[in-house]
Amino acid sequence: MTTLDIPTVTAAPRRLGAAMWTTGIATFGVLYAPQGLLTGIAETYGLTAADASWVVSSATLGLALAIVPWALAADRFGRRRMLQVAAVAAAVIAIASPLLPGFAGLLAGRFLLGAALGGIPALAVAYLHEAAGPHRAGVAAGAYVAATSVGGLAGRLVAAPVGELVGWRLSLELMGVLAAALTVLFAVLLPATAPHRVVPLRSSLRTLGRQAVNVRALPLYAIGAMVVGAMVAVFNAIGFRLEVAPYFLSATAVSLVFLTYLSGTVTSRLSGALVHRWGTRMPLVAGGALMTVGAAVTIASGVAVIVAGILLITAGMFLAHATANAATARAGGSGRQHAVALYSVAYYVGSSVIGTVGAAAWTAGGWLALAGLVAALGVLVVVCSLAVRD
């Protein structure tokens, strides 16, 4: 018997829900908080938008590279224990990393923070299948993704106005302290599951290899990479567009654009019901289509219309992501932890690479080039969705 064969123990739903909400808010709050501060960071160090975007990309890259090691460690020591270790490590680094000097120090701290946080998305969905039971896991996973959308909103919405008052570095430090408190609370709240049984490393690597070529999961990996990359690219560049002519909005005013994240909270929670009624493919296609339409809408010059387009992109991204994340766990079968880990790797590599490519597109060709990139990614999401099987 391996950890993947252990019968499910259903955890107390309120405690489990509270744990998932605390970690979703903390992880994504601290991970993407710098997006509201990129123009200030660029000004401090004399950077282009593409260079400044590495403050976000370094964290997501560190997270992507750490996911597989966290998954392998969970096979050895158990998912719940490693989730707790990741939470405590992230709490310490979240407080320490903003204090490192210089742009290089900032990037190094963000990379280490991402590596510590990597244990949470690597293990959370697979843990939910153990703790919530197979029939409730999809709903619980949707709630977790909804919590990540709230965290992403809170981080971006709070960091920018605080940064205008006290500077971007102290803003990041305050966000780190808040994230540390929430991640420690998460570690305490995690309900126990069935007793852990050690999985040999060789067996873990074989399972990982199988999931790397799992034909049911491959299109889902691609979808995860594209949807998050598109959205991160938009949010990396939006401040550089709206804080200059002809808009001249303040960083605080631009941060209100991040309220569009609330649409992701709604569509994440709806994803489970849509899958139950229509199957996996329909929400994925709808998510890609919303992203493409939203990208086209953002080409307009009016601020309200631009925000409406970003709302469509965000709603589509979270609809597709929540659906693909849960579908990957199902497609992985007994190796769901490894499948979800690989999905998370693809997701955060997409965030790092496409987010930076999008900032470069903005630098080279303005918003039209960036919108074209996002629209093309939405079309590719639709194409990949056609290969998804329930």
> Which CATH number do you get for residue 128?
1.20.1250.20
**Tens-digit pLDDT profile for residues 143-182:** 787 788 788 888 888 999 999 999 999 999 999 999 999 9
Average pLDDT, the chain: 90
Residues 124 and 142 sit within 8 Å (Cβ to Cβ): no
Amino acid 335 reads: G
Asked which of 80-84, 129-133, 137-141, 172-176 is least confident by mean pLDDT, the reply is 137-141
User: Is 164 inside a domain boundary?
Assistant: yes
Closest CA to 223 of 21, 330, 383, 69: 383
Instruction: Count structural domains, the chain.
Output: 1
Closest CA to 189 of 50, 69, 307, 12: 12
User: Is 171 inside a domain boundary?
Assistant: yes
Q: Is the pLDDT of residue 99 over 80?
A: yes
Asked which of 30-34, 132-136, 219-223 is least confident by mean pLDDT, the reply is 132-136
At residue 388, φ and ψ (nearest 5 deg) are: -80, 135
User: Is 1 inside a domain boundary?
Assistant: no
Q: Tell me how far apart the alpha carbons of residues 177 and 182 are, in angstroms, rounded to a whole number.
A: 9
Q: Residue 324: give the domain boundaries.
A: 10-192+213-385
Say what the pLDDT of residue 204 is.
Answer: 87
Q: Tell me how far apart the alpha carbons of residues 156 and 31 are, in angstroms, rounded to a whole number.
A: 9
User: Is 349 inside a domain boundary?
Assistant: yes
Q: Read off the DSSP letter of residue 246.
A: T
Which of 48-52, 126-130, 155-159, 291-295 has the highest average model confidence (pLDDT)?
291-295
Q: Which two tokens stand for residue 293?
A: 């339409």
Count the neighbouring beta carbons within 10 Å of the beta carbon of residue 14.
10
User: Is 30 inside a domain boundary?
Assistant: yes
User: Is 3 inside a domain boundary?
Assistant: no
| Three-class secondary structure of residue 80 per DSSP | helix
What region, left, alpha or beta, does residue 78 occupy, with left being phi > 0 and alpha being psi -120 to 50 degrees?
Answer: left
Say what the pLDDT of residue 1 is.
Answer: 33
Q: Which two tokens stand for residue 134?
A: 């197979």
User: pLDDT grade, residue 135 (50/70/90)?
Assistant: low
User: Is 105 inside a domain boundary?
Assistant: yes
Q: Read off the DSSP letter of residue 12.
A: P
How far does the chain reach from its first CA to its final CA, in angstroms?
27
Residues 336 and 329 sit within 8 Å (Cβ to Cβ): yes
At residue 179, φ and ψ (nearest 5 deg) are: -65, -40
User: Is 277 inside a domain boundary?
Assistant: yes
pLDDT over 70, % of the chain: 94
